[in-house]
């Protein structure tokens, strides 16, 4: 059994990611501008697994893309390892909800593509691709195309492709949202297994409360738009316990977070909480 994560040791380290007073305004080609985020501040420690949880449209994905450098921070600042984020970089890998695989490339080809772009020598990149195919449990499917894989297998391939870069930070935008409930549960356990073998800093966007509690060290609950950090809740459980979902403390934590999210979801719909 893998060792339980030492959250106190994680929290003692200096913050790897610092989001400081960030606001973001969407300016669509037509219609009025929309304030997506307002004065968001967040610190994430090295090798911490943090979930962003909140109602639809609260800016979870926007915050993730700002950290990834795909959007500019208009107000405030974002720093990674003390350096301002000025754009995407190899230190931050991202996994999207809809796989984003090349349909004309095999599993091996999808993973090799980025390594080739990096200029990695052929022998090294071939070995690296096979290592990560094995890590995510796709051995035997190296020459399969995405259309020949299940949804869970395609997402495993997407995760392997991102991990092959060896980024320090893994950004995950509702990566299991398109999967059926059974596959989603299996992929959650698989992600924890992979994380324990290749520990990285993970920021995980989800709207699923139980998923957030199960996967994360801490959960940042976001308010209805404009998104703010409403509160941050510790979710320290032994994730290696196969019965953790049934534990009284786990169920109570899920209920606590659900109440927080429900209040914001009602606000987003213009309904006053009872």
**How does pLDDT run across 117-171, given as a tens digit for each residue?**
888 899 999 999 999 999 999 999 999 999 999 999 999 999 999 999 889 999 9
Identify whether 255 is part of a domain.
Answer: no
Give residue 177's pLDDT band: very low, low, confident or very high (50, 70, 90): confident
Say yes or no: 87 and 112 in one domain.
no
Residues 214 and 83 in one domain: yes
- 244: which 2 tokens? 């953790």
Residue at 254 is within a domain: no
The last residue of a domain, from among 118, 151, 166? 166
Residue written as tokens 């800016």?
59
Q: Establish if 26 belongs to a structural domain.
A: yes
Report the sign of the C-alpha dihedral through residues 250, 45, 50, 132, in that order: negative
Tell me, yes or no, whether 233 and 141 share the same domain.
no
Q: Does residue 181 lie within any of the structural domains?
A: yes
Banded model confidence at residue 48, pLDDT cuts 50, 70, 90: very high
In this structure, are 87 and 172 located in the same domain?
Answer: yes
The band of 27, judged by pLDDT with boundaries at 50, 70 and 90, is confident
What's the confidence (pLDDT) of residue 7?
A: 46
The count of structural domains within the chain is 2
pLDDT tens digits, 55-89: 988 999 999 999 999 998 889 999 999 999 999 99
The pLDDT of residue 1 is 38
Q: Indicate whether 267 belongs to any domain.
A: no
- Summarize pLDDT for 181-236 with one digit per residue, the tens: 888 898 999 999 889 888 899 999 999 999 999 999 999 999 999 999 999 999 98
Residues 121 and 175 in one domain: no
Q: What is the CATH number of the domain that holds 216?
A: 3.40.50.300
Q: What is the CA radius of gyration of the chain?
A: 19
**Per-residue model confidence (pLDDT) at position 72:** 87
In a domain, 260, yes or no: no
One domain for residues 179 and 232 = yes
Count CB atoms within 10 A of the CB of residue 169.
22
- Spatial distance between the Cα atoms of 232 and 241, rounded to a whole number of angstroms: 24
Residue 12 is predicted with a pLDDT of 57
- How many angstroms separate the Cα of 80 from the Cα of each of 16, 76, 92, 150, 174? 6, 14, 9, 35, 22
Q: Same domain for 84 and 197? A: yes
Give yes or no: residues 148 and 186 share one domain. no
Same domain, yes or no: 235 and 195: yes
Range of the domain at 116: 102-166
162 and 173 co-located in one domain: no
Residue 10: per-residue pLDDT: 45
φ, ψ for residue 84, nearest 5 deg: -60, 140
Residue 271 is predicted with a pLDDT of 57
**71/160 same-domain check:** no
By DSSP bridging, strand 169-173 and strand 49-53 are unpaired
Quote the pLDDT of residue 94: 93
Q: List CB contacts of 269: < 8 A, sequence separation 6 or more.
A: none
Do 108 and 71 share a structural domain? no
Residue 106's pLDDT is 97
């Amino acid at each position: 059994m893998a060792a339980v994560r030492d959250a106190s040791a994680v929290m003692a380290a200096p913050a790897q990611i610092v989001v400081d007073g960030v606001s973001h305004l969407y300016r669509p080609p037509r219609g009025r501008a929309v304030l997506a985020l307002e004065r968001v501040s967040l610190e994430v420690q090295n090798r911490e697994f943090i979930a962003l949880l909140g109602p639809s449209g609260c800016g979870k994905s926007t915050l993730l893309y700002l950290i990834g450098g795909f959007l500019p921070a208009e107000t405030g600042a974002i720093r990674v390892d003390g350096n301002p984020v000025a754009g995407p970089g190899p230190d931050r890998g991202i996994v999207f909800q809809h796989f984003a695989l090349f349909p004309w490339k095999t599993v091996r080809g999808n993973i090799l593509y980025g390594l080739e772009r990096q200029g990695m020598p052929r022998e090294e990149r071939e070995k690296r691709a096979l290592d990560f195919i094995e890590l995510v449990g796709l051995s035997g499917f190296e020459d399969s195309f995405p259309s020949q894989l299940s949804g869970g297998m395609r997402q495993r391939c997407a995760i392997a492709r991102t991990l092959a870069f060896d980024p320090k930070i893994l950004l995950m935008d509702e990566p299991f949202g398109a999967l059926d409930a059974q596959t989603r549960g299996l992929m959650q356990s698989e992600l924890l297994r992979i994380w324990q073998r290749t520990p990285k800093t993970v920021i995980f966007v989800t709207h699923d409360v139980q998923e957030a509690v199960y996967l994360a060290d801490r959960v940042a609950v976001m308010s209805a738009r404009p998104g703010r950090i409403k509160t941050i809740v510790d979710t320290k459980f032994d994730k290696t316990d196969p019965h953790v979902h049934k534990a009284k403390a786990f169920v109570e934590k899920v209920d606590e977070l659900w109440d927080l999210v429900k209040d914001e979801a009602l606000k987003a719909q213009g309904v006053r909480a009872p």
